[in-house]
Structure 1
Amino acid sequence: MRLMLEVSGLHVAYGRIPILTGIDFQLAEGEFLGILGHNGMGKTTLMRALTGSLPLLAGKVILAGADISKAAVYRRARLGLGLVPQGRDIFPDLTVMANLRMGLAAAAREDAAVVDEVLEEFPRLHRLLDRKGGALSGGEQQLLALARCLCSRPRLILLDEPTEGIQPSIIEEIIETLLRIKARGGLSMILVEQNLEFITALSDRILTIQKGRITGELDPKSADFASAIAAYAGMDSHAAEQA
């Protein structure tokens, strides 16, 4: 098994307030890893620490064998780390096409043909290329944020709360798109999410996070997954199975 990411002893704080207090996990090449946790448990802080927008108090982050623990954000992007942030952060005054071209700026080398390749995965965006990002629906903006990230040709994507405020039809479209990309191989992903159906459909493994620490690992394909989710989420087994 080739590792795409190794995280060990990660500690992060906001001022004097500790948020992450010893995060350890590994991600295999081509693996989709879910991280499940309630609000305020440190999920988004973990994403920011991995991208370099928050400094580490302690610990290491190794990306494809390279120690990026102290690397700048742009350096991590050039090494193949992509982010689809919570809230999407598209450029509202730029057209969809211009937003996609902004994704090329994070690539190790600019290749305009990449935009056409990415658009093949997002047919809904074809008719919107001349429309400003701010005029899109929330779901369309999420598709654009994901497509823009893919334009940088990442090896690892961090996907932070992608279903937040998104209509069910777009959620299904994102699932189908990511499963197609996953089937072709070559892309790893860390998915932070609270939507059980979404995270279960895409993840090979799911880590649970509570109060800044990884507290368990769940296998979505195991026979006892529903009861394990129920125990974590505080719902009955039948509700977990329906989720």
Structure 2
Amino acid sequence: MTTALVTGATAGIGREFALQLAARGDDVVLVARDVPRLEALAAELRAAHGVQVEVLPADLSDRAQLDRVAQRLASTDAPVDVLVNNAGFSLKGSFLDNDVAAEEGLFDVLSRAVLVLSHAAGRAMRARGRGAIVNVSSVASFLTSGTYSANKSFVTVFSEGLAAELAGTGVTVTALCPGFTHTEFHQRADLDMSSMPEFLWLDAPRLVRDALADVDKGKVVSVPGRQYKAIVTALRVLPRPLVRSRSRRAHRPSSH
């Protein structure tokens, strides 16, 4: 029986990963901050799929709580076969306008947690000769749009490097790079997305199905959606000054 651990499991893409992993028969370890939502999801998965579900409440910006999740991944008695590093959030303001403590919290969840948990899982999986690590990054990782983009760039490049390090060990690493997806992510960040054209939006269930198919194939970078495959292909070849100039226009202060 395969066991998967999903961070940020109670909402959005993380919840969809938990649903689909349980539906295929995986036992699941659910990690998030909201205990009532964790318990409700656990009950739903047990009832619908008859799998074992473990609830592990944790705020990944807290180092002690993060270490508890890392210890769970390192367990030899109850091994984790699939790690989905999905937990994340976004900040509304620009870097210099935000409080630095908020930016540090973003860094801790989006970058440091991915590093720490991938290290724990990667070592344990390598020793067993099997496993998969899925790091949820973003199309933003190919842009230069603030610290969210910078953190996601770390996730993508880090995943590519770890995949190379684990090549031939039976352990795969996939950076999942979605674009705009219909979840509560933007609402939680208080971001107005009403002007975004519908063709740019992805459907979370389809996104996760495609991602899991790419993981099964051992794909290192997974970009869901034809529109985003085309966008990422263009971003990879565009001169970086042009990419940066687009970002500067996006961050230009509005008049008051």
- Regarding TM over 0.5, the answer is no
* Structure (1 or 2) with the greater helix fraction: 2
Structure with the greater relative contact order (CA < 8 A, sep ≥ 6): 1 or 2? Answer: 1
* TM-score (norm. length: structure 2): 0.35
* TM-score (norm. length: structure 1): 0.36
